[in-house]
Amino acid sequence: MIKLIQKTVLLSFILLLTTSVTFGAIATYEGGALGDPTLDENRYEYSEYFFLSGEPILLTGYVEIPDENTKDNYTETYDFELSNADENIFVDRSVTYQVTNKINDQMSQKIYKKEITNIQEDIEVNGDEYTLGSYTYDHSRLIDMTPAVDYYSGNVNYKKIYYLNGNSVANDGKLTHHVSSVTDIGYNHYWGSSETLVIDHELTFISDNDEENWTGYYTTKNSSLNQKRFQYNTNDPINISFRGSYVKSSTMENIVQSTYNLPEIEDGINDFERNQGEENITQNVTLDYESLLSPKIKDIGGHWAEESIVLLRALGIFDNNNEYFAPNSQMNRLMFGKAIANALADIEDMDLTDRIINNRNNDAEIFIDVDGEHPDYEHIKFLKDRRIMIGEYGYFKAYRPVSRAEAVKVLINALGLETLAPMPPYRTTFSDDSAIPTWARDAVYVANEIGLISGYPDGTFRGNTYLTKADATAMIMNFIDHIKDNITYDYRERIINKY
């Protein structure tokens, strides 16, 4: 039995999303985490630490989140029902945001701005009521839209003022909650999304008699990650037509770490003695299971690239219409380009009728050798429109073999990272640096720096060497691994551990 099916292969991928823009699953900036979905649509279990009373208290309950929205301008409302019966704390919160996206097509960038248009909070702590008197809120992001990943970073700043048992005229005290973000960063792509938000909170309470004044500080590190996991399961029966298959599961992981410096509470509030510590919330949710097709390939048993070939065919990144793969044959531009396009988006080929209709359009020809009737027109158009593969002298040259330099250029074009190369002249770390084509030098430099590629044992890159299908498969798997693992670490663990 081949090595692939002698073991269970567990690979972590990021959640496959629709084409709409989704940024993680952080529902609020108070420092909470989504849990399991309920039977009610868009309603999730939810946990949040409450600090307004001067000590960390875990609240649990539910949040209703809005559907994804693809419009440039829209409103969204989040409704929270939270409580801690033992501590006699109850919180009902409804927040409506106005979201505005301003797109600069030339720069392929977007300014995302979020404003609160309505907020209602009912907070009760041991019979005392906190009434929201006023608030200010600013949240914006710069989103850089590359073919493979929408990268973003932003800032959050808001202030809320509560009155204890009263209003601005008559009350038992005024509580000011000021928030500023240390970092708001994340990404969104075909395979998933991640959002990391680190926020500093400052609480200031001024009592009506100035005898119980206090200040408190806490920092919330909130990270949300949507993932796909693929597990290869073998079949026990001998008399079965396929040896095993992948099962796809959708998962969501939300983590909140809260460190605090608050007044000591013993028979009243003592602002001179400090209560310091850390509280954590982790929610791991499995949302869905789905079986994938099991590719039947006759010529890869025992090949070093077998596992990658099977997985990429099961995912539909490579076509499943041939029982042979020919792993040691050369990879051409069309097959490589289609695989990259399939790794970035859901693209459906047109049927014959649609191709004929499409070709009647005078603008249908995208390359001299690719017109509207080409069977892979949609894939090639996707590659050209996003400047992933722009052709040569007006030709796409679909069946020309792909060199290593050319393949790396395609991958870095997709990631939108070529501008990270230094100003020339510079050298790469490869011993055959002088042989790297000029047009691919920046891409090769960046790919090596981010760990997307590595050279041969003798230190060479061999950019002009043509890729075999097996070599290309390994390169595409590295590309997906970079998106699902390296970017995740860079945007999550490294940032969380920094603060």
pLDDT at 181: 85
What is the rounded CA–CA span in Å between residue 390 and residue 387?
A: 6
SS3 109: strand
What is the rounded CA–CA span in Å between residue 449 and residue 419?
A: 13
* Rg, the chain, Cα only: 27
Estimate to the nearest angstrom the gap between the alpha carbon of 178 and the chain centroid: 28
pLDDT at 20: 33
pLDDT at 466: 97
Query: What is the per-residue burial (b if ≥16 Cβ within 10 Å, else e) of 46-65?
Result: bbbbbbbbbbbbebbbebbb
DSSP letter at 484 equals I
What is the rounded CA–CA span in Å between residue 130 and residue 175?
A: 9
pLDDT, tens digit, for every residue of 405-444? 999 999 999 999 999 999 999 999 999 999 999 999 999 9
Please tell me the pTM assigned to this model: 0.84
Token reading at 103: 């797109």
Token reading at 54: 């001067």
C-alpha closest to that of 151 among 493, 491, 476, 499: 491
| Cβ partners under 8 Å of residue 6, min gap 6 | 234
pLDDT at 357: 62
Task: Please calculate the CA angle 44-49-51 and round it to the nearest 5 degrees.
Answer: 140
What is the rounded CA–CA span in Å between residue 230 and residue 482?
A: 16
SS3 445: helix
pLDDT at 350: 65
What is the rounded CA–CA span in Å between residue 389 and residue 187?
A: 23
List 154's β-bridge partners, or say none: 141, 184
**What's 317-378 look like in SS3?**
CCCCCCCCCCCCCECEHHHHHHHHHHCCCCCCCCCHHHHHHHHCCCCCCCECCECCCCCCHH
SS3 3: helix
Query: What is the per-residue burial (b if ≥16 Cβ within 10 Å, else e) of 77-106?
Result: ebbbbbbbeeeebbbebebbbebebeeeee
Pairing of strands 57-64, 109-125: unpaired
SS3 490: helix
Estimate to the nearest angstrom the gap between the alpha carbon of 124 and the chain centroid: 36
Token reading at 155: 């800032």
pLDDT at 363: 60
C-alpha closest to that of 300 among 318, 273, 274, 278: 318
DSSP letter at 218 equals E
| Cβ partners under 8 Å of residue 36, min gap 6 | 44, 45, 283, 285
Residue where the block lists tokens 């044992």: 457
Residue where the block lists tokens 């849990």: 35
pLDDT at 483: 87
Percent of the chain whose pLDDT exceeds 70: 91
**What's 105-118 look like in SS3?**
CCCCEEEEEEEEEE
C-alpha closest to that of 387 among 421, 410, 420: 410
Residue where the block lists tokens 């919180």: 91
| Cβ partners under 8 Å of residue 289, min gap 6 | 247, 248, 249, 250
pLDDT at 287: 81
Q: Would you write out the chain's pLDDT as a tens digit for each of its 499 residues?
A: 233 333 223 233 222 223 333 334 688 888 899 999 999 989 999 999 999 999 999 999 999 999 888 888 999 999 999 999 999 999 999 999 999 999 999 999 999 999 999 999 999 999 999 999 999 999 999 999 999 999 999 999 999 999 999 999 999 999 999 998 888 999 988 888 899 999 999 999 999 887 789 999 999 999 998 877 788 888 888 878 887 888 888 888 899 999 999 998 877 788 788 999 999 999 998 888 889 888 999 999 999 999 999 999 999 999 988 899 999 999 999 999 999 999 999 987 666 666 666 656 556 789 999 988 888 999 999 999 999 999 999 999 999 999 999 999 999 999 999 999 999 999 999 999 999 999 999 999 999 999 999 889 999 999 999 999 999 999 999 999 888 878 877 777 766 676 6
**What's 63-84 look like in SS3?**
EECCCCCCCCEEEEEEEEEEEE
